[in-house]
Chains A and B, each alone.
Chain A
Amino acid sequence: MPNLKALRKRIATVRSTQQITRAMKMVAAAKLRRAQEAAERARPYAAKLAEMFEAVAAGVEPDTHPLLARREERRIDLVVVSSDRGLCGGYNSNLFRHLAKFVRERAGQELGLVVVGRKGFEYYRRRGTSIVSQQVGILTTPPATMAAALAAEVAGRFEREETDAVYLAYNRFRSAISQTPGVVPLLPVAPPAADERPVDYIFEPPRLELLGRLVPRYLEALVTQALLEAIASEHAARMTAMGNATTNATDMIGALTLSMNRARQATITKELMEVVGGAEALKG
């Protein structure tokens, strides 16, 4: 027979945990909304920059800019955007599982990881994967600042030929209930196909110099968009996980309350029986 007092204590524990998970869910929901808005606001800039890049880069040869240079992919860098904190369901593990597949497919290549987020760092350090660098504070650093640092780092490595290609892995934001891990190529930057009817632009400064300025900024914008999406995904994943935890706690409290009442009932019945039994015995 479960002890009444222990059950009561257990219920109190679950209830206080539930209060925490419920609060975390609400906080994540509010942050998710803000993150979505930020991603939404940043989208036009990225889209226009891509258009401009296309206008300038359309039809240029890949060897005109170091970041466009295509080499045989013997060494690749992978930028992994994970979270600093847990309690976000499968957010990190889904990404790592997806990446394990990506890495298996490229078994012959030397892999270097640029890790964003403490979870990713701990995971890959444990597994002994070669980590080039790591960053924390995805939720506290302005995304544009972090993106600039990341873009500069991988661009530097690519230009020094320490890596032949750079990929970016993060959780894509599909909706508040669906985030899917994905890997996108980052470097070399793919020059767009030449336009059918090219617009006769005046370039100031000359085209190649302009391209030289545009490419790093374009790279930065790509990373920024990915970070913004990853942030939204993290909040969404945490919201879902904490929502589930809250529901589970409710179920658990229900089950525990039931067994507590049963135990209480049993105690009362037993005591009654004893009283009745005692009275019967006295009547003798």
Chain B
Amino acid sequence: MAEVLRLRVYTRERQLVDQDVREVTAPGVYGEIGVLPDHAALVTTLEPGVLSYKDTAGAVASVQVTGGFAEVRDNVMTVLADAGAAAAG
């Protein structure tokens, strides 16, 4: 069982996040989606909201997204945000 998964967040203009994380919470179409390492392959749309993640040290950070898409596959979570900005906290 993998300890971490790779989180990559892109907006149209640039890459916002590229790091190993323990856990991701994303605003999915049917409510919050929690993604842990070894999650099943998934493609989903995202609603506007806050995407938060816990890094390997256990610190929580978050990114504002205005909607977009996310894919989870082989312990890599790729998030394509329509627009996004790193949020405080």
In the complex, chain B residues 10-46 whose Cβ is within 8 Å of any chain A Cβ:
10-15, 28-30, 33, 40-45
Residues of B within 8 A of A201 (CB): 41-43, 73
Residues of B within 8 A of A68 (CB): none
The residue among B33, B43, B44 with the most chain A CB atoms within 10 A of its own CB is B43
A224/B15 in contact, CB under 8 A: no
A48/B41 in contact, CB under 8 A: no
Let me know if A282 is at the binding interface, CB within 8 A: no
B80/A48 in contact, CB under 8 A: yes
Q: How far apart are B28's CB and chain A's nearest CB, in angstroms?
A: 6
Interchain CA distance A144-B14 in the complex, whole Å:
12
Q: List 22 A-B contacts (CB under 8 A).
A: A45-B10, A45-B11, A48-B10, A48-B78, A51-B71, A52-B43, A55-B71, A144-B12, A199-B73, A200-B41, A201-B43, A202-B42, A202-B44, A204-B28, A204-B30, A204-B42, A204-B43, A204-B45, A205-B30, A210-B45, A217-B82, A224-B12
Residues of B within 8 A of A111 (CB): none
Residues of B within 8 A of A199 (CB): 41, 73
The 3 A-B pairs at the shortest CB distance, nearest first, are namely A204-B44, A45-B10, A202-B42
Q: How far apart are B48's CB and chain A's nearest CB, in angstroms?
A: 14
On whether A205 and B80 interact (CB within 8 A), knowing A45-B10, A45-B12, the answer reads no
Please give me the residue from chain A that is nearest to B10 by CB atom. A45
Residues of B within 8 A of A44 (CB): 10, 15
On whether A202 and B41 interact (CB within 8 A), knowing A52-B78, A52-B80, the answer reads yes
Interchain Cβ contacts within 8 Å, total number: 72
On whether A203 and B43 interact (CB within 8 A), knowing A45-B80, A52-B71, the answer reads yes
Q: Which residues of A contact B (CB under 8 A)?
A: 38, 41-42, 44-45, 48-49, 51-52, 55-56, 144, 199-205, 210, 213-214, 217, 221, 224
Please give me the residue from chain A that is nearest to B14 by CB atom. A41
- The contact size tier of chain B is 20 to 34
Q: How far apart are A262's CB and chain B's nearest CB, in angstroms?
A: 59
On whether A210 and B43 interact (CB within 8 A), knowing A52-B71, A52-B80, A204-B28, the answer reads yes
The residue among A55, A217, A224 with the most chain B CB atoms within 10 A of its own CB is A217
Interchain CA distance A214-B44 in the complex, whole Å:
10
Please give me the residue from chain A that is nearest to B83 by CB atom. A144
Please give me the residue from chain B that is nearest to A41 by CB atom. B14
A204/B14 in contact, CB under 8 A: no
Residues of A within 8 A of B73 (CB): 55, 199, 201
Residues of B within 8 A of A42 (CB): 12-14
Q: How far apart are B66's CB and chain A's nearest CB, in angstroms?
A: 12
